[in-house]
Structure 1
Amino acid sequence: MAIVTNTATAPKPYSRAWLLSDRPESRHQARLGRAYVIWRQFSANRLALIGLGIILALVLVAIFADVLAPHNPVQGDLRNSRLLPPGSPGFLLGTDDQGRDILSRLLYGSRLTLFVVCLVAVIAAPIGLIVGTAAGYAGGWVDAVLMRITDIFLAFPKLVLALALVAALGPGIENAVLAIAVTSWPPYARIARAETLTFRNSEFISAVKLMGASPMRIVIRHVMPLCLSSLIVRVTLDMAGIILTAAGLGFLGLGAQPPLPEWGAMIASGRRFILDQWWVAGMPGVAILIVSLGFNLLGDGLRDALDPKEAGQ
């Protein structure tokens, strides 16, 4: 007697039931299912979606700034378009003291903002991850030395230490990025160390040791991936602080140098007209506010979505 299996009830690949299956048939299915659950929890948070929309808009504006900008961001007309208010013909957000269009400068300035944020994240996050996981897994004197170095960096206020480094290296956007990155990695090292300590003596780490894996392989292949979710959340939440630090350096003349349209430098040039021509400093301030808010909302949403306790509910 032949046995007929009913395949009609089997979930189709990439369907909702297939993604949410509690018995995945492959690693690929398990990873897609986990990503789908994270997206569902993230998309349920409306504020997180607003933050994601703000960041996506920032990225698109930075990519197409040369298409969207109505005027040259570094050249203006001192005779006919100096300090025009918002809504003037041809100048939606007004002009500055050099007759340059503020909207165009904001659009091009988004490129510098993304440049600083991305480069600092690329430099600081891996350094903190390596230091934290090495200290947490090795323990002993390695942990003591690495954490004391971390404490030294944490003892200084971030902006003050960045100012000292930029003053030593010289003004410029590259030196500002390097200074911010050097001052941003210690919190990531703390988080990575704490995460490593929670599962350093777990059973799966012991099993990997019995299989003959070296300490470096264990840290890179098994420990670091487990720390990534917490690190991603912290990096996203720190983006607003990175933007403010970069703007502070630009405001003091230690970041991007004129005539580059950096938002902090734009505020510095407009502080002389803050009472009568408020838009010169106000518009870049609003841009910093919106982008910082977007990163904070996005970070809060990622924190809720990547939290294992939240994901299990």
Structure 2
Amino acid sequence: MQSPAHQAFTRLVTGLRNALSKLSQEPVGMFGFLFLALLAVIAILAPLIAPYSPTAQNLGQALLPPSAAHWAGTDEFGRDILSRLIYGTRITFQTVLAVSFIVGPLGLVIGIVAGYIGGRTDAVLMRITDIVLSFPSLVLALAFAAALGAGLGTAIIAISLTGWPAIARLARAETLVVRNTDYVAAARLYGASPVRLLALYIAPMCIPSVVVRLTLNMAGIILTAAALGFLGLGAQPPAPEWGAMISSGRRFMLDNWWVAVMPGIAILFTSLAFNLAGDALRDILDPRHARS
């Protein structure tokens, strides 16, 4: 007889094999995952991949067009744009992961507590959620970032404070369905406490939907972070943040287009990859949304 640990490992391997099998049937989603994996490798190995230092200035080579020496050209300070894009991948992934790790658990806890307890608790939590949702997320993030001060850390906090309501609404909707299932009722009859019910029976059923929603939200996180950087409220110079690079390059758009276009292309393809990966992940984790 197999041990519980061996059985859990077998289920994990089987689940991963099934997920990879489904992903192989989604070539567009596979492209998204492979592109994100490539970006992750670039972010980790940035010092080895980048041909130049991202902060090294050479005014004698300022505003050079793309060439064999500088594949993406140089900016107004003579810094290699490709090297700055490579190092900027680290900032982008740091922002996305930090916001996701804050927004996911926070929204999940608020949503399942509101959905399970109901009554006045549900009403209060959902009214707070509605108030936050009533403001455009970018405007609210700008307000928080301006109040907290410019910087990458404050940008992460500002985006997180505007991103949890959508996760909370989703978790609450899932909880309203799960709390009436037979296995939850059976656990309640056997004396399971509310905390145990929420942690072991309800939350695991909500996590797949939350993960999918977080993946789909990552493109929005990138765009919001870029907008904050563009307005000077994100990562501060000389950090190679893509939004800040677009902001500094907008002055040279007419004659030196590559200074602003190259980071814009990086934002475009990264956001697209997260959306494609999110769509594929939704089809894998939630059969109700599978394409016919």
Which category of TM-score, normalised to the shorter sequence, fits these structures? over 0.9
- Which residue identity does 1:197 align to in structure 2? L
User: Scaled by the length of structure 1, what TM-score is found?
Assistant: 0.89
Once the 2 structures are TM-superposed, how far is the Cα of residue 34 of structure 1 from its aligned partner?
3.3
- Which residue identity does 2:66 align to in structure 1? P
Once the 2 structures are TM-superposed, how far is the Cα of residue 310 of structure 1 from its aligned partner?
6.1
Question: 1:25-45: CA deviations, max 9, x gaps?
Answer: 945444433332222112210
Q: CA RMSD in A?
A: 1.7
Q: In structure 2, what is the equivalent of residue 302 of structure 1?
A: 281
Q: In the aligned structure 1, how far is the partner of 2:63 from the partner of 2:13?
A: 54
Percent identity over paired residues: 53
Structure 1 unaligned blocks of 5 or more: 1-12, 14-24
Q: In the aligned structure 2, how far is the partner of 1:195 from the partner of 1:27?
A: 25
1:70 aligns with 2:86: no
The range that moved more, 26-35 or 164-173, is 26-35
Q: In structure 1, what is the equivalent of residue 218 of structure 2?
A: 239
Q: CA 1:198–1:93 in structure 2 vs 1: closer, same or farther (change >3 Å)?
A: same
Q: CA 1:121–1:192 in structure 2 vs 1: closer, same or farther (change >3 Å)?
A: same
Q: In structure 2, what is the equivalent of residue 84 of structure 1?
A: 64
Q: Secondary structure at the match of 2:235?
A: coil
Q: In structure 2, what is the equivalent of residue 38 of structure 1?
A: 19
Q: How does 1:177-192 map to 2 (within 5 A)?
A: 177-192=156-171
- Which residue identity does 1:62 align to in structure 2? A
Question: 1:177-203: CA deviations, max 9, x gaps?
Answer: 000011000000001000000121111
Q: In the aligned structure 1, how far is the partner of 2:37 from the partner of 2:11?
A: 28
Q: How does 1:161-240 map to 2 (within 5 A)?
A: 161-240=140-219
1:143 aligns with 2:122: yes
- Which residue identity does 1:99 align to in structure 2? G
Query: Which is helix-richer, 1 or 2?
Result: 2
Structure 2 unaligned blocks of 5 or more: none
Tell me if the contact between 1:93 and 1:283 (Cα under 8 Å) persists in the aligned partners: yes
Give the paired residue count. 288
Q: In structure 2, what is the equivalent of residue 267 of structure 1?
A: 246
Q: Secondary structure at the match of 2:59?
A: coil
User: Scaled by the length of structure 2, what TM-score is found?
Assistant: 0.95
Q: In structure 2, what is the equivalent of residue 114 of structure 1?
A: 93
Q: In the aligned structure 1, how far is the partner of 2:204 from the partner of 2:216?
A: 19
